[in-house]
Amino acid sequence: NNLPQTALRGQVRLKNQGRAGAVVGVDNMAGRTVTNSDGNWFLYFGMAQASASVRVTATLPDQSASKTSAAILQPRATVTVPSFDF
């Protein structure tokens, strides 16, 4: 299969440094992801995912704070969400 998947990607930063272990999810959609050691994250959707306006929420590992950002899913493309800066 060489069709690109629909995806979102971004980074969670705390005091200008990537933050590992933050949880990122899309409101009203199943699935969550956790940031890697650099604070980067990826969230993949099914091949039939239609274009949609979504709210992406990032929560720090200790759950002390969360932030939300809007994004528009584009079928078979990766959309970069602005960094979540805490």
Question: What are 32-42's pLDDT values in tens digits?
Answer: 999 999 999 99
Q: What is the mean pLDDT of residues 50-79?
A: 97
CA distances from 13 to 6, 25, 32, 52, 75 (A): 24, 16, 18, 26, 27
Q: What pLDDT sits at residue 1?
A: 57
Q: What is the mean pLDDT of residues 47-76?
A: 96
Neighbour count for residue 5 (Cβ, 10 Å):
15
pTM over 0.75: yes
Q: What pLDDT sits at residue 40?
A: 98
